[in-house]
Chains A and B, each alone.
Chain A
């Protein structure tokens, strides 16, 4: 009954079956996550020394990221060649080698199968025939590249280099933030009750921020009347939006009776949580950057974080937050970043609503796989511009998604 035909309006409509269909989810794993995309794996700062490792995901696929004894980065599927068990159980650490607990098959840092327990049997009895080729089912190896301390991997042989994939304009915005060696300050996971694409929709939606997040608007952190802009990569896949620090003295929200304008009676007794130092020297207070399919880099005042989107079924998504600073931050800057931790994450003054809003969409559309959302702010344009009262980056996401999915 389900029609998988895209609505005739094209880029200004997104049909709701994209968030509901099990077949779509499975196809996404193959064509997007395991397809011709670069996927964020971890920060280089999480792999400080040779033989360090972390475990992560590319879509549903578990992945080990490790540095070899020579310091080179490797990533490989966390699946034993023998029976398919997880090879590495620990989330992070240092290891001489990786041994599957099931039958002790052993791998090196690059994911090569180096030993099969009792391969030749014992005392001439048992073991594998000489012609057996267990290596034929070895864990898949990912191509790995890193830029400015971010590590990415892909199963694709065809996808271009990471920087070409990201595109020059978005690379410039990424480099703007990641200008020095990083230091991890904390991690946590936010579990979202919705399809992964609803979260990416939300991140790319420059129109919602000051309407949903009263905290932004009331304290004039991000209003659509403030200076700013949006960049979209030529293929639509990646985006970056920013807001300038210049104070907005207007009353556009108050005049239009926006809920988010809030009450004048509500003010902060201790505004230290909002105090920003212009550490990049360009008077940008917020920059949100997303890379297809599931990576977000944020600068919200002096709060910096990488967010990794990990789909966990059609209606469940994990958001793995890694909050960081720079290795050379002084005590005052670290304190500032910790205080501004209150702005982001599951308890964040300006991010807690995103989990709620996207869950509301998942629940709201339950009866309407045949209907579509209306994405016409800014017309049907997909491209960069200086207005954020647009859904240009959301349309870009769907242009890219349809390209990969061939629907």
Chain B
């Protein structure tokens, strides 16, 4: 029960950081060599390895955020994450695996609001540090509206 609570808190803190535009905090939710990958259910089912977005280690994650802040052009937008049905399994003393559902609503600066993505988080959480060693974001749909700037 305690582990369940701890993992749910990690997911919640992650969601609040992204949704309140604290993007610079995003890499700190991962271990130093943590991996983050966005893919689609179709690619997973077909065994196709190409990610939509991939970062290996915090340095690449910081590069992504730096680029969003200083290089990429996109309309101001915010996400709202809904995370539910969190199932936690402890696989060893060091690592817990977790699966959770997510729904991300995207709100544009003019108020235009849409369901941007739904899917599953498949996580490997390093216990103790309570950081993601790996977070795989499997989007249910293969479609992405306009662009995907902020991580899911």
In the complex, the answer to whether B146 meets A191 with C-beta atoms within 8 Å is yes
Give Cα distance in the complex from A359 to B72, angstroms: 16
Residues on the B chain within 8 Å of A342, using CB? 51, 53-55, 64
Query: Interface size of B by Cβ–Cβ distance < 8 Å?
Result: 36
Chain A residues in 8 Å Cβ range of B42:
187
Within 8 A of A (CB), among B138-152: 142-149
Q: In whole angstroms, what is the CA distance A266 to B70 when docked?
A: 7
The interface bits of chain B over 49-67 (1 if a CB of A lies within 8 angstroms of the residue's CB, else 0) are: 1111111110110111011
Interface size on A, residues (CB 8 A): 40
- In the bound complex, residues from chain B placing their C-beta under 8 Å from that of A72 are none
What residues of chain B lie closer than 8 Å to A269, measured between beta carbons?
59-60, 62-63
- A270→B54 CA distance, assembly (Å): 13
A270 and B63 form a contact (CB under 8 A): yes
A266 touches B66 (CB 8 A): yes
Q: Considering the complex, which residues of chain A in the window 169-201 have a beta carbon less than 8 Å from any beta carbon of chain B?
A: 184-193
Q: Are A347 and B147 in contact (CB under 8 A)?
A: yes
| Cβ contact within 8 Å between A186 and B38 | no
Contact: B71 with A215, CB < 8 Å? yes
Shortest B150–chain A CB gap in Å is: 10
Given contacts A268-B63, A273-B60, A345-B52, contact A355 B71 (CB under 8 A): no
A contact face: mostly helix, strand, loop, or mixed: mixed
Q: Which residues of A contact B67 (CB under 8 A)?
A: 215, 266, 349
Per DSSP, chain B at the interface is mixed
Asked whether, in the complex, the Cβ of A359 is within 8 Å of the Cβ of B146, the reply is yes
Chain A stretch 306-331: residues in CB contact (< 8 A) with chain B: 318, 323
Does A116 count as interface, using CB distance less than 8 angstroms? Answer: no
A218 touches B147 (CB 8 A): no
Q: Which of A24-32, A148-156, A333-341, A377-385 contacts B (4 or more CB under 8 A)?
A: A333-341
A270 touches B51 (CB 8 A): no
Q: Does B1 contact A (CB under 8 A)?
A: no
List B contacts of A215 (CB < 8 A): 67, 71-72
Tell me if A108 counts as interface (CB < 8 A to partner B): no
In the assembled complex, the Cα of A334 lies from the Cα of B49 at a distance in Å of 9
Complex CA gap A196/B38 in Å reads 27
CB–CB B48/A186 < 8 A: yes
Residue of A214, A262, A270 with most chain B CB atoms under a 10 A cut-off:
A270
Task: Decide: B50 and A186 in contact? CB cutoff 8 A.
Answer: yes
Q: Does B94 contact A (CB under 8 A)?
A: no
The answer to whether A347 touches B149 (Cβ under 8 A) is yes
Q: Is A338 touching B53 in the complex (CB atoms < 8 A)? A: no
**Is A356 in contact with B147, judged by CB distance below 8 angstroms?**
yes
Q: In the complex the two chains form, is B60's CB within 8 Å of A270's CB?
A: yes
Q: Is A212 an interface residue (CB 8 A)?
A: yes
Report the nearest B residue to A346, measured CB to CB.
B144
Q: Among B54, B62, B64, B148, which residue has its beta carbon within 8 angstroms of that of A346?
A: B148
| Also in contact, A353 and B72, with CB within 8 A (given A270-B63, A334-B49) | yes
Q: How far is the CA of A270 from the CA of B49 in the complex (A)?
A: 21
B4 interface residue (CB < 8 Å to A): no
**Nearest CB to that of A360 among chain B residues?**
B75
Tell me the nearest residue of chain A to B151, going by C-beta.
Answer: A347
Known: A269-B59, A334-B49. Contact between A189 and B142, CB under 8 A?
Answer: yes
Instruction: Closest B residue to A217 by CB, please name it.
Output: B71
The one of A186, A214, A218, A268 in contact with B49, judged by C-beta atoms closer than 8 angstroms, is: A186
Interchain CB contact under 8 A, B48 and A347: no
Q: Is the CB of B53 within 8 A of A347?
A: yes
Shortest distance from the beta carbon of B77 to any chain A beta carbon, whole Å: 10
Cα–Cα, bound, A345→B145 (Å): 11
Residues 260-295 of A, flagged 1 when their CB comes within 8 A of B and 0 if not, give 001100101110110000000000000000000000
- Residue B131 at the chain A interface, CB threshold 8 Å: no
Q: Would you call B73 and A347 a contact (CB within 8 A)? A: no
Query: Which residues of B sit under 8 angstroms from A272, Cβ to Cβ?
Result: 60
Give the residue among A334, A345, A347 with the most B Cβ atoms within 10 A.
A347
Which residues, 358 to 396 on A, are CB-close (under 8 Å) to B? 359
- Whether A352 sits at the interface, judged by CB under 8 Å, is yes
Q: Is B40 an interface residue (CB 8 A)?
A: yes
Chain A minimum-CB-distance residue to B42? A187
B113 interface hit (Cβ, 8 Å):
no
The 10 A-B pairs with the shortest beta carbon distances in the complex, nearest first, are A186-B50, A346-B144, A269-B59, A352-B147, A347-B148, A347-B53, A214-B71, A185-B50, A270-B59, A355-B146
Would you mind naming 22 contact pairs between A and B with Cβ atoms under 8 Å apart? A186-B51, A187-B40, A187-B48, A188-B40, A188-B52, A188-B144, A189-B144, A190-B146, A212-B73, A214-B70, A214-B71, A215-B71, A215-B72, A269-B59, A270-B59, A318-B143, A334-B49, A337-B50, A345-B52, A355-B146, A356-B73, A356-B74
13 further A-B pairs in the complex, CB-CB below 8 A; given A188-B143, A191-B145, A272-B60: A186-B39, A186-B50, A188-B144, A191-B144, A262-B71, A334-B49, A341-B52, A342-B53, A342-B64, A347-B53, A352-B148, A353-B74, A357-B73
